[in-house]
Amino acid sequence: MAETLLSTPRQDGFRMPGEFEPHQGTWMLWPVRTDTWRLGAKPAQDAFVAVALAISEFEPVTIGVSAIQYEHVRSVFPSRVRIVEMSSNDAWMRDIGPTFVKNDEGEVRGVDWGFNAWGGLNGGLYFPWDQDLLVKQKVLDMESKSRYDCQSFILEGGAILVDGEGTLITTEQCLLNENRNPGMRRAEVEERLHEYLNVEKIIWLQQGLMYDETDGHVDEVAAFIRPGVVAMSWTDDPESPQYERLNAAYEVLSGTTDARGRQLEVHKIHIPDPMKISDEEARLIDRARRSYNRATGTQFAASYVNFYICNGGVVMPSFGDRHDAAAYEQLCGLFPERKVVQVNTREIALGGGNIHCITQQQPK
Ligand code: KQY
């Protein structure tokens, strides 16, 4: 069993590496929930397969799957993709997987945060989340990595971005939300982030994207390309409900220095046109009283910065939107040393997230 540590990564000289640093591999989960995913989750499963196969061209991929789907999923993937039996309530490995930290000697450990399905009984997305809560420990056990217990603090991986050099970006809308760590003040939240991720400077954006069901995860708004360089969601349309909040985020990011004192270089990537759940899509989603309402016409967040950086590659969303090609060209320019692969992820966006949200990197 992975050892549980009562110290903190900062005390032990561990830090969360940037996503662009070398990976041991990528963790994902298999989607099956019929109140998140339409048509028995089959179209979403196809999209998850496309994402996993794209990543597996660059680095090892492990997919956690329920016992009942194990045989099927094993048959879907080539042997280079590892399939392990692992229960979960849904398939958002970014948010329910461990946050890996690393020291200068190359030892890797994991942080086990608390999780309440994006808000618990106060606006959370489903109930229960008991199996999600065990995923971090299971992954760390499987990998024989020591575990920092920080379950007293609710944090989703999609709510933070780090540059691996002491800088973290997050949103007030999510991290200071009463439905995450009620009663905890900004200074206390910052203290946890300092201790468990070993960061020096926290950059607070006010809000995430409108229609993001997670209460404003920062991974729909921005992404570190490398230390000192950030890509962010953008719209030129003053009528867009995203316009003001993205302008405000731009002001903060472009006017801020990072932990090393660098002025951030910020690249704007235009978001797709507004997206809504169609009547046909909504009719094929099961209803559940405690779950997020995915009715006809519900708008959902979509952005190109919810991409995933892997060894030598970047896997990014497309939506069949007029902005797909420009976003691809921009990312190719921002990552000249990596191959950029685009996967149509509308089916994943319908469930409330995208490629970054369904993946979790384990550093080398
Ligand atoms: O990391 C993310 N932004 C996660 C999205 C979770 C959506 C749950 N339906």
Q: Of all protein residues, whose CA lies closest to atom 5 belonging to ligand 1? A: 353
**Ligand 1 atom nearest 220 alpha carbon:** 3
Residues in a beta bridge with 275: 300
Using the mean position of ligand 1's atoms as its centre, give its distance from the Cα of residue 46 in Å.
Answer: 18
Read off the pLDDT of residues 151-207 as tens digits, 9 standing for 90 and up: 999 999 999 999 999 999 999 999 999 999 999 999 999 999 999 999 999 999 999
Instruction: Indicate which residues carry an active-site annotation.
Output: 357
Q: What is the pLDDT of residue 290?
A: 85
Q: How confident is the model over 262-291, as pLDDT tens digits?
A: 999 999 999 999 999 999 999 999 998 889
Beta strands in 104-238 (DSSP E): 108-114, 147-154, 161-162, 167-171, 201-205, 222-226, 229-234
Q: What is the mean pLDDT of residues 215-225?
A: 98
Which of 200, 240, 242 lies closest to 220 in space, CA to CA? 242
Global confidence as pTM: 0.98
Backbone angles phi, psi at 149, to 5 degrees: -85, 110
CA of 353 to the centre of ligand 1 (A): 4
Ligand 1, atom 2, residue with closest C-alpha: 357
Is the pLDDT reported for residue 1 higher than 80?
no
Q: In this predicted structure, what is the pLDDT of residue 289?
A: 86
Per-residue model confidence (pLDDT) at position 192: 98
Query: What pLDDT score does 157 carry?
Result: 98
Give per-residue pLDDT as tens, 306-360: 999 999 999 999 999 999 999 999 999 999 999 999 999 999 999 999 999 999 9
Using CB distances shorter than 6 Å, the residues near ligand 1 are: 36, 92, 94-95, 125, 158, 213-214, 217, 219-220, 351-353, 357
Task: Check if the beta carbon of residue 361 is closer than 8 Å to that of residue 19.
Answer: yes
pLDDT value of position 212: 98
Dist. CA 357 → ligand 1 center (Å): 6
Q: What is the pLDDT of residue 343?
A: 98
Q: How far is the CA of 351 from the centre of ligand 1 (A)?
A: 8
Where is pLDDT greater, at 66 or 2? 66
pLDDT at 2 (0 to 100): 81
| Residue closest by Cα to atom 9 of ligand 1 | 352
Domains for the chain: give ranges and CATH numbers.
4-363 (3.75.10.10)
Q: What is residue 58's predicted lDDT score, i.e. its pLDDT? A: 98
pLDDT tens profile 94-140: 999 999 999 999 999 999 999 999 999 999 999 999 999 999 999 99
Mean pLDDT of 289-309: 95
